[in-house]
Structure 1
Amino acid sequence: MADLPYRAIIVLGKTWFRAMDFQWRVTGSEHIPSEGGAVLAINHVSYVDFIMAGYGAVPSGRLVRFMAKRETFDHRLSGPLMRSLRHISVDRADGQASYDEAVRYLKDGEVVGVFPEATISRSFEIKELKTGAVRMAADAGVPLVPMVLWGTQRLITKDHPRDFGRHKTISVTIGEPISPEGATAVEKTAELRTAMGAMLDKAVAEYPPDEQPPGSWWLPARYGGTAPTPEEAKRLDREELAERAAKRRARAEAARAKRSG
């Protein structure tokens, strides 16, 4: 059987899900093509989204190859696993190579998972999307399939302690395929964001009310939660980037001082 490591990971994942007694709500799996390439465009609210999105595609019989940052592949533990699952390394210093590899995967009939927001949404709303997902779907001549996750942020996300308590509901909504043709990449990306926004609204509205009471930190502000508004989230993102840049400069200066000393 092909992809034995991937299938073994799915078995392990199912074991974990049963132990956690997750209540799964997967809708629209029929929208993932049963064969041929497709880009799966997924919202990003949690550090475990790739696991949940991959499981959401299981009913369709497809294995998703995710695009993930190069550091994940460089790690001594996660690196061999990511390569064995045939995921795609994204090197921000050489993004074209990663893009070209994803297009090749798509032309070879693979389903490629992309998080077009690029980073986790602190507001848990759909952020501005990068155009890469639309462009690679157009270049490969494959459909663009939107997917929205909800509830995964309750497990582990930015700015909050992890909570792997049991009995949480995990919602996976898969929308109708969008053709990447017929408009510019910017226009199609706006269409994708609109579709994902509507899917998110529906997922939030249908989530068990007792699991997201008003004031919940994982609930968007416009739904009565205490998550940052999209504007506040943008400010926090800018501050995080500035802090990272300052740390990189400090490390570089310390390295130069050590060499000169």
Structure 2
Amino acid sequence: MAELVYRPVIGVALTMFKALDLKIECKGSENIPRTGGAVLVSNHISYLDFIFSGLTALPQKRLVRFMAKDAVFRHKVSGPLMRGMKHIPVDRESGEAAYQHALESLRSGEIIGVFPEATISQSFTLKSFKSGAARLAQEAGVPLVPMALWGTQRLWTKGRPRNFRRHHIPVTMRVGEPMEAPRDQYAGAITRRVRDQVQELLEAAQRAYPVRPKGVDDTWWMPAHLGGTAPTPEAVKAAEAG
């Protein structure tokens, strides 16, 4: 079936990234299967993560269908685009329909993109992972592909204005080797293993990131444990609970 929306959107995104002269570096795209279903599992630090995560599959000539909250599909601009790209809306109050949709897509050979933290991490560290990605991989009999990205929070993230005027921002991505999800194993154990892999990849992306904050006003995008002024995970939890 022709991709009348997805490929043109990719073209527009790549043109915009070129105009901004973003320094995009990705290693490990060869780990994404050339054929068959797979669950691509990524950390989540920006509203643009699904775009950059999807770019990792282009060298393998694959398109990724992302699971995203249904509010995005109700927006007058993003909604038609998300539906046209065949992404999957998730109703957080009743996610069974989305789960079955993703399962059918995996069984038909699609790559499904999942952010198992569910929401953007405002501390820019890994939150706990929900087990849905592991359960999908188990039931569909497909691998999990861990990945991590870094730098996208500097473009547009929760609680910060969009920053599309600043050029030359680096974005670093790492894709790990596929992981099996045996049906006879506990989904929670598989989830912990894939989270550990994403953590390793995130640390590798951070080490490879070519710039560091410049001045006291530019430390907001770095986690506290790396010397930045982003809120700690504990502070985020306290703010959300309050």
Identify whether the pair has TM-score above 0.5, normalized to the shorter chain: yes
1:236 and 1:213 mapped to 2: Cα distance?
27
Q: Is the 8 A contact 2:174 2:204 kept in 1?
A: no
How far the C-alpha of 1:90 sits from its partner, in A, is: 0.7
Equivalent AA in structure 1 for residue 233 of structure 2:
P
How far the C-alpha of 1:160 sits from its partner, in A, is: 2.2
Alignment partner, residue 32 of structure 1: 32
Q: What stretches of structure 1 move > 3 A for 4+ residues in a row? A: 211-215
The 10-residue stretch of structure 1 (99-108 or 76-85) with the greater mean CA deviation from structure 2: 76-85
Alignment partner, residue 102 of structure 1: 102
**Which residues of structure 2 form unaligned runs of 5+?**
none
2:221 alignment partner, one of 218, 226, 231: 218
How far the C-alpha of 1:186 sits from its partner, in A, is: 0.7
| CA RMSD, Structure 1 to Structure 2 (Å) | 1.5
How far the C-alpha of 1:146 sits from its partner, in A, is: 0.8
Does 1:233 find its partner at 2:236?
Answer: yes
1:25 and 1:222 mapped to 2: Cα distance?
24
1:35-114 matches, within 5 Å, as 35-114=35-114
Alignment partner, residue 121 of structure 2: 121
Alignment partner, residue 180 of structure 1: 181
How far the C-alpha of 1:76 sits from its partner, in A, is: 2.5
1:181-200 matches, within 5 Å, as 181=182, 183-200=185-202
After TM superposition, the score normalised by the length of structure 1 is 0.87
2:160 and 2:232 mapped to 1: Cα distance?
16
Report percent identity of matched pairs: 50
After TM superposition, the score normalised by the length of structure 2 is 0.94
Indicate the SS of the match to 1:40. strand
Indicate the SS of the match to 1:67. strand
2:122 and 2:93 mapped to 1: Cα distance?
25
Q: Is the 8 A contact 1:214 1:225 kept in 2?
A: no
> How far does the alpha carbon of each residue in 1:137-186 deviate from its partner, in whole angstroms, 9 at most, with x for none?
10100000011110000011122232221100011111111111153111
Alignment partner, residue 2 of structure 2: 2
How far the C-alpha of 1:213 sits from its partner, in A, is: 5.0
* Structure with max Cα Rg: 1
**Which residues of structure 1 form unaligned runs of 5+?**
240-261
Question: What is the aligned length?
Answer: 238
